[in-house]
Structure 1
Amino acid sequence: MIREIVHSPMLLRVPSEPAILGSAEDREIGHDLLDTLAANAERCVGMAANMIGARRRIIVVNNGARNMLMYNPEILEGVGTYETEEGCLSLEGTRPCTRYRRIKVRYLDDSWNERTITFTGFVAEIIQHEIDHCNGVVI
């Protein structure tokens, strides 16, 4: 189901709770995120659950080939910092931030299997932005 986007910085600053392995409710949040990202594909490349009003550590990211769903993503390693400027569907304008060029991320996939993958470039930047959302960091 396509959900409305949260625009309140106050609500976005609240850190998210971990997704619960196998939870039907969290699976539904993940699918709603995929639907909502697809509906906003022309202006958005990633979303976190708090952007649709759910305080769970669930994100979706467009990796170029498809939209990837990640439960409880965690950055294990970051290499090569750089300065950039990012926008957000939940907020107006852009903001400066520091990102890593390469990150290693551990997460649960859409079948609740644990994955550890290294991402680079723009996809790595998107993942970092969405994990910031999970942590209550408003960029």
Structure 2
Amino acid sequence: MVLPIVAYGDPVLRKKAKDIPKDFPNLEVLVSNMFETMYKASGVGLAGPQVGLPLRIFVIDASPFSDDEDLSEEEQNQLSDFKKTFINAKIEIEEGEEWAFNEGCLSIPDIREDVVRKPEIKISYLDENLNPITERYSGLAARIIQHEYDHIEGILFTDKLSSLKKRLLKSRLEKISKGKINVDYKMRFPNLKKGR
């Protein structure tokens, strides 16, 4: 089932998400709905808060990047089958020399900006079967994970921009929160005036 994606300005996007308990009901349905919602919106990642759930879960399918000619063949191969569910994730290490990459977000449509992040991470999480996993990622895979991980920490990519950039984007972000934007996927706007 396709869920509405929560737009910028909704308080749920600012909450630090809570762990998913072992006995969480219908976890497989939630995971399936999140992937379906992400695909419908042509995204590569989606976190619980983005569908209105302040839960530590995010899904990623980075395969659309596997034919990006700017990436090395090794990185293209790594991303071609990079489809995962991360539950109760904890990034333990972020290291390396920071690099900038243009990011966007399904909750903040039509805004893309360069964001600086570290290139390597070590992350512990549970998979969709609640098996504990610890892995290292680098490059674009690490960046996608960091972006989604920020969501479960109540952080948006726009928070990482300079104060000048934030001021320049302020009115566009307010329009998004009021639903004054055209999107081709289902969204929920926190400041939408009723009866429009």
TM-score (norm. length: structure 1): 0.88
Post-superposition shift, 1:110?
Answer: 0.8
Equivalent residue, structure 1, for 2:113: 95
Q: Which amino acid aligns with 1:20?
A: P
SS of alignment partner, residue 37 of structure 1: helix
Q: Please point out which of 142, 145, 150 is paired with 1:127.
A: 145
Q: Counterpart in 2 of 1:136?
A: 154
Distance in 1, Cα, partners of 2:114 & 2:22 = 34
User: Which moves more between the two structures, 86-95 or 100-109?
Assistant: 86-95
Unpaired runs of 5+ residues, structure 2, are: 63-79, 158-196
**Partners of 2:86 and 2:23 in 1: how far apart?**
13
Corresponding letter in the other structure for 1:31: S
* Cα distance in structure 2, aligned partners of 1:22 and 1:112: 10
The answer to whether the aligner puts 1:78 opposite 2:98 as a matched pair is no
Q: Which runs of 5+ in 1 are unaligned?
A: none
Is the CA contact 1:9–1:138 (under 8 Å) kept in the aligned structure 2?
no
Secondary structure at the aligned position of 1:35 is classed as helix
Q: Secondary structure at the match of 1:36?
A: helix
Compute the displacement of 1:34 (Å): 1.6
Q: Do 1:106 and 1:115's aligned partners in 2 also have CA atoms closer than 8 Å?
A: yes
The Cα RMSD (Å) is 1.7
CA distance in 2, matches of 1:105, 1:27: 22
Q: Name the residue aligned to 1:5.
A: 5
Q: Which moved more, 1:23-32 or 1:55-64?
A: 23-32
Report the equivalent of 2:59: 60
Greater displacement, 28-37 / 119-128: 28-37
What is residue 17 of structure 1 aligned with on the other side? Answer: 18
SS in 1 for 2:118: strand
* Superposed CA offset, 1:67-121 (max 9, x none): 2111011111112122333110110302342212111110000110000011111
Report which of the two structures shows the higher radius of gyration computed on alpha carbons. 2
Amino acid at match of 2:136: T
Q: Distance in 2 between matches of 1:28 and 1:58?
A: 13
Counting aligned pairs with the same residue, the percent is 28
Q: Secondary structure at the residue paired with 1:128?
A: helix
Residues 20, 26 of structure 1: 8 Å contact kept? no
CA distance, structure 1, for counterparts of residue 89 and residue 40 of structure 2 = 23
Partner of 2:31: 30
* Secondary structure class of the residue paired with 2:102: strand
Runs of 4+ in 1 over 6 A off after TM superposition: none
Paired letter, 1:78: E
By how many angstroms is 1:25 displaced?
4.4
Aligned residues: 137
SS at match of 1:30: helix
